Amino acid sequence: MSAPQIIWFRNDLRLEDHGAVAAAAAAGPVAALFVLDDEAPEQTAGGRWAQGWRMGAAQRWWLHHSLAALAAQLEARGGRLILRRGAAGDIVPKVAEELGAAVVHTLLHYEPWAVAQCAAVARKLRLVGHDGVLLARPESVLAGNGGRYRIFTPWWNRLREQMPPARPLPAPARMEFASGGTSDRLEDWGLLPTKPDWSGGFQVWTPGAAGAQAQLAEFLPVAADYDLARNLPSTEGTSRLSPHLAMGEISVRAAWHAVADAAGAAAEPYLRELGWRDFAANILDQFPDHGDVPGRTAFDRLAFREDPTGLAAWQQGRTGYPIVDAGMRQLWATGWMHNRVRMIAASFLCKHLLIDWRAGERWFWDTLVDADLAANSLGWQWVMGSGVDSSPFNRVFAPVGQSAKFNAGDYIRQWVPELAELRDADIHAPWEAEPMMLRAAGVVLGRTYPQPIVGHAEARARALAAYAAVKL
Ligand X SMILES: Cc1cc2nc3c(=O)[nH]c(=O)nc-3n(C[C@H](O)[C@H](O)[C@H](O)COP(=O)(O)OP(=O)(O)OC[C@H]3O[C@@H](n4cnc5c(N)ncnc54)[C@H](O)[C@@H]3O)c2cc1C
What mask of x and - would describe binding to ligand X in positions 195 to 234, judged by CB under 6 A? -----------------------------------x----
The secondary structure of the chain, three-state, reads CCCCEEEEECCCCCCCCCHHHHHHHHHCCEEEEEEECCHHHHHHCCCCCCCCCCCCHHHHHHHHHHHHHHHHHHHHCCCCEEEEECCHHHHHHHHHHHHCCCEEEEECCCCHHHHHHHHHHHCCCEEEEECCCCCCCHHHCECCCCCECCCHHHHHHHHHHHCCCCCCCCCCCCCCECCCCCCCCHHHHCCCCCCCCCCHHHHHCCCCHHHHHHHHHHHHHHHHHHHHHCCCCCCCCCCCCHHHHHCCCCCHHHHHHHHHHHHHHHHHHHHHHHHHHHHHHHHHHHCCCCCCCCCCHHHHHCCCCCCHHHHHHHHHCCCCCHHHHHHHHHHHHHCCCCHHHHHHHHHHHHHHCCCCHHHHHHHHHHHCCCCCHHHHHHHHHHHHCCCCCCCCCCCCCCHHHHHHHCCCHHHHHHHCHHHCCCCHHHHCCHHHCCHHHHHHCCCCECCCECCCCCCHHHHHHHHHHHHHHHHC
Q: Which is nearer to ligand X, 34 or 256 (CB)?
A: 256
Binding piece for ligand X, criterion CB under 6 A, among 10-18, 109-117, 375-383, 452-460: 375-383
Residue 273 interacts with ligand X (CB under 6 A): yes or no: yes
Position among 245, 271, 331, 353 found at the interface with ligand X (CB under 6 A): 245
Residue 364 interacts with ligand X (CB under 6 A): yes or no: yes
Binding piece for ligand X, criterion CB under 6 A, among 125-133, 204-212, 239-247, 301-309: 239-247
Query: What's the min distance (Å) between Cβ of 221 and ligand X?
Result: 14
Position among 274, 323, 354, 419 found at the interface with ligand X (CB under 6 A): 274
β-strand pairing of 126-130 with 103-107? parallel
Position among 238, 251, 386, 403 found at the interface with ligand X (CB under 6 A): 238
Q: Which is nearer to ligand X, 225 or 424 (CB)?
A: 225
What mask of x and - would describe binding to ligand X in positions 167 to 186, judged by CB under 6 A? --------------------
Output the residue with the shortest Cβ distance to ligand X: 379
Residue 64 interacts with ligand X (CB under 6 A): yes or no: no
Q: Decide: 175 and 30 in contact? Cβ < 8 Å.
A: yes
Binding-site residue total for ligand X (CB under 6 A)? Answer: 28
Q: Which is nearer to ligand X, 383 or 433 (CB)?
A: 383
Query: What's the min distance (Å) between Cβ of 376 and ligand X?
Result: 3
Restricting to residues 275-294, name those near ligand X by CB under 6 A. Answer: 276-277, 280
Q: Which is nearer to ligand X, 105 or 230 (CB)?
A: 230
Query: What's the min distance (Å) between Cβ of 370 and ligand X?
Result: 4
Residue 268 interacts with ligand X (CB under 6 A): yes or no: no
Position among 368, 408, 416, 419 found at the interface with ligand X (CB under 6 A): 368
β-strand pairing of 81-85 with 103-107? unpaired
Q: Which is nearer to ligand X, 105 or 257 (CB)?
A: 257
Position among 88, 383, 422, 463 found at the interface with ligand X (CB under 6 A): 383
Terminal Cα distance for the chain, rounded: 70
Query: What's the min distance (Å) between Cβ of 334 and ligand X?
Result: 12
Position among 59, 376, 386, 403 found at the interface with ligand X (CB under 6 A): 376
Q: Which residues have a Cβ under 8 Å from the Cβ of 2 and sit 6 or more positions away?
A: 28, 29
Position among 34, 380, 393, 467 found at the interface with ligand X (CB under 6 A): 380
Binding piece for ligand X, criterion CB under 6 A, among 92-100, 127-135, 236-244, 302-310: 236-244
What mask of x and - would describe binding to ligand X in positions 334 to 363, judged by CB under 6 A? -----x--xx--x-----------------
Query: What's the min distance (Å) between Cβ of 336 and ligand X?
Result: 7
Q: Which is nearer to ligand X, 187 or 218 (CB)?
A: 218
Query: What's the min distance (Å) between Cβ of 26 and ligand X?
Result: 29
Beta bridge partners of 127: 104
Q: Which is nearer to ligand X, 177 or 276 (CB)?
A: 276
Q: Which is nearer to ligand X, 141 or 246 (CB)?
A: 246
Query: What's the min distance (Å) between Cβ of 342 and ligand X?
Result: 4
Q: Decide: 17 and 106 in contact? Cβ < 8 Å.
A: no
Residue 246 interacts with ligand X (CB under 6 A): yes or no: yes
Question: What sign has the CA pseudo-torsion 211, 213, 214, 219?
Answer: positive
CA gap 213, 244 in Å, rounded: 9
Binding site for ligand X (CB under 6 A): 230, 238-242, 245-246, 273-274, 276-277, 280, 339, 342-343, 346, 364, 368, 370-372, 375-376, 378-380, 383
